[in-house]
Structure 1
Amino acid sequence: MATVEEAIRTTRDEDFLHALTMFLDIYGTEEAPPMNTAKAAAGLSYFALCLALVQKKFKPAIDLCRRAIELEFYNGDHYANLARIYLAAGNRKKALETLEQGLKIAPDQDYLLTVRQLVGVRAKPAVPFLDRSHPINVSLGQSRHAKKIADEERKKR
């Protein structure tokens, strides 16, 4: 029988399917940890991430991760996992909000910073007084991006 720590380690190694089966074995038994302790919070958070990435069950995953944050609000991993769930669900705005909230609580947490870098930051619109979706901004933004990629290719040579 796998432990919560082993399942978390497997999730961190990004073997999400195997980790999900481990979590289902753990939480599907009578020896499941109580759901109101800090130790359970880490398991819930990583279980939620696996649930979202493997089975695409975003709503239950978000609820589990929020529960983990309620139990252990000071742990940046939970915010990073929730942000990854939001990203997988296609909600970039919520992912960024969650990361900012997590970085206020744990500004030096490596996992949070890594996920923040993964999400990236949007560049300002080329013409700031026009809406981001305005055709001029879209066209100029695409041109700027193409130039950036071309410059990176030149540097590689």
Structure 2
Amino acid sequence: MGEMPDDAGLAEFKQGIELLQNGYATKALERFRYAAELKGQNPYYLSFLGVSMGRAQGKWAAAVELCKTALSMRRNEAQLYLNLAEVYVSAGRRDNAIETLDAGLTYCRADKRIGQMRGRLGRRCSPLLPFLGRSNLLNRSLGKLRHRVLGRVRKVNPPFAA
């Protein structure tokens, strides 16, 4: 008996996951594209298609749209939030990634992966000189100095454990 299209889509998806995990985003993109063609209403297929498209081709706007579409189909799936956040981070849109993960914590509180990724991203301090851009040399230098000083202060005076 031949493979049913649904089974073929799942097989393509699994191969795409393996390729993506091993760093072959371009090859994974082909697999996810085929899986999405077979079963386009599967949010996982669309979301991973977006991740691989971003990694392979740098088409961040299209990647974000695919991931957002997938997320709108299934709001309670942590992996979809993680994928969208990954695309945002890779596209240099860190604040959007943080917002996405915060929303993910609302819908998928039990999934620790969202909290872990959110913790890794943290929250940036505001620039010391707000009238200058964040990338201004003076703001960057002062920010690095602040980071070093605060790091030393925390080592000398650690916060009390609750």
| Shared fold per TM-score greater than 0.5 | yes
Larger RCO (CA under 8 A, 6+ residues apart): 1
Q: Residue 74 and residue 91 in structure 1: after superposition, are their counterparts in 2 closer, same or farther (change >3 A)? A: same
Residue 20 of structure 1 aligns with which residue? 29
- Report the CA distance between 1:14 and its aligned residue: 4.5
Contact 1:132 1:138 in 2 (8 A): no
**Gapped regions of structure 2 (runs ≥ 5):** 1-7, 156-162
**Gapped regions of structure 1 (runs ≥ 5):** 153-157
Residue 109 of structure 2 aligns with which residue? 107
Contact 2:81 2:100 in 1 (8 A): yes
Q: Larger Rg: 1 or 2?
A: 2
- Report the CA distance between 1:122 and its aligned residue: 2.1
TM-score normalised by length of structure 2: 0.69
* Aligned length in residues: 141
Q: CA RMSD in A?
A: 3.1
**SS in structure 2 of the partner of residue 3 of structure 1:** helix
Give me the whole-angstrom Cα distance separating, in 2, the residues matched to 1:125 and 1:18: 41
Q: Output one character per residue of 1:35-73: Cα deviation in whole Å (capped at 9) or x when no partner.
A: 33xxx1111111101101110111111111111111111
TM-score normalised by length of structure 1: 0.71
Identity %: 27
**SS in structure 1 of the partner of residue 109 of structure 2:** coil
Q: Residue 125 and residue 26 in structure 1: after superposition, are their counterparts in 2 closer, same or farther (change >3 A)? A: closer
Worse-matched range after superposition: 107-116 or 58-67: 107-116
Contact 1:74 1:105 in 2 (8 A): yes
Q: Output one character per residue of 1:84-141: Cα deviation in whole Å (capped at 9) or x when no partner.
A: 1111221111111111001111123243234323423324667xxx638589875543
Contact 2:35 2:45 in 1 (8 A): no
**SS in structure 2 of the partner of residue 66 of structure 1:** helix
AA in 1 matched with 2:86: R
Q: Residue 115 and residue 132 in structure 1: after superposition, are their counterparts in 2 closer, same or farther (change >3 A)? A: farther
